[in-house]
Structure 1
């Protein structure tokens, strides 16, 4: 595990933004464990903040083994939490809106292998060889309209429920996580972020920030650019690089 800490550096930050009264995002940055997470809560102020916090607390507990074993443990923890959010907390919450859930995007790295796990529209990007790759695919109605009805992004965005999520932790009885495994190469950089960050930035701007030499410089650039704009949503990001 110590080798991971020597290879990978990271920086993480969250901000309420300029409009929301409370921050429902949460993040986890554990380079010594090769684990990073961003979660974006939903269901009203306290419910959303609770859901995202529970995700990072559950995943922060140490796990042992190789990458497949740790990935399996991460999946089990998220499935357990999905049941808890979907049953216990929702049923007992004395709140007019019973929804309590959160997106999640997690990155596990062990040696020269990585695994990205997600549900919802928080994203994982890879910066490699001066090119930006979006590794995750949004679990949202907007993306579904693009995929299934061949609508353009601008056409799909006009749907009144375009940004509704089709998957999230706590959103349904059966949680469907998406997982992507890949080899990591020297010079790779990763970005995990909530939609409050990427919605305010172009792909070119994201790439220019990830091209900076340190995670902290990248993070500073990303937040400066979003907070110079309207910043209508909470924003969170974790930047990881060798």
Structure 2
């Protein structure tokens, strides 16, 4: 299975620094976007540390032991990576108390020879574009997402709500990570988008679907989404990572 990819990250129009981080390792089948929290420097450290740790864990071939849930090897490798990332953030915080409170979201795809998987914590997202339809594959771990699920907010209202950046799960020093794992079945010509909430926090799924369904290059799609988010005010850091699957 071949994978083409492109990624663009931007601080947005209202932030002086970029606390997002991403990883693209087609040789490992690993793709990650992380959105750091905790303010300038701390957020950058948390997201970078998470991405580096997950990448190193997958590269080493490490995985959690099999369990009764029958998780695939890809899922167990991602789980191990996310757990070690949380531990690394905890250890760094212990060494540098000024970083106390730092945390990060993370969404990752691991494409394996036998099975593929998604691991997710926080409000970054994974989307699938297939057969002219866009599907959100992850569920936001955020306060506004809970309100939308209960019917108390619409998606449009959630994008404008003052608490839209409040996440209910993250990789941090405070709690063991609650990682959402799911298997991923891929087909030829699938396109996948991993994005930080600086994109989908201001751009509708309908607009994302238009861009992912275009005939533009993957690089141009990524840049178009960044431009759209900045055109909508660019209130946060923005990262877009797009994959296209090629099955011989």
For normalisation by structure 2, the TM-score amounts to: 0.85
* 1:150 matches 2:145: no
Equivalent residue of 2:32, what SS? strand
Q: Kindly provide the CA deviation profile for residues 22-47 of structure 1, in whole angstroms up to 9, marking residues without a partner as x.
A: 11000011122211000000011111
RMSD: 2.3
How far off its partner does 1:111 sit?
4.2
* 1:55 matches 2:50: yes
How far off its partner does 1:237 sit?
1.1
Of the structure 1 ranges 118-127 and 163-172, higher mean CA displacement relative to structure 2 is found in 163-172
Q: Which residue of 2 aligns with 1:68?
A: 72
How far off its partner does 1:12 sit?
0.8
Q: What is the CA–CA distance in structure 2 between the aligned matches of 1:215 and 1:112, rounded to whole Å?
A: 26
For normalisation by structure 1, the TM-score amounts to: 0.87
Of the structure 1 ranges 62-71 and 114-123, higher mean CA displacement relative to structure 2 is found in 62-71
Q: Which residue of 2 aligns with 1:83?
A: 87
How far off its partner does 1:157 sit?
6.7
* 1:218 matches 2:221: yes
Of the structure 1 ranges 183-192 and 57-66, higher mean CA displacement relative to structure 2 is found in 57-66
Q: Which residue of 1 aligns with 2:15?
A: 20
* 1:114 matches 2:116: yes
Q: What is the CA–CA distance in structure 1 between the aligned matches of 2:192 and 2:16, rounded to whole Å?
A: 29
Equivalent residue of 1:78, what SS? helix
- Provide structure 1 residue ranges, at least 5 long, that are not aligned to the other structure: none
How far off its partner does 1:80 sit?
2.0
Contact kept? 1:89, 1:100, Cα under 8 Å:
no
Aligned length: 234
Equivalent residue of 1:167, what SS? coil
Q: Kindly provide the CA deviation profile for residues 153-209 of structure 1, in whole angstroms up to 9, marking residues without a partner as x.
A: 266678653431100000632211001213111121000000001122111210111
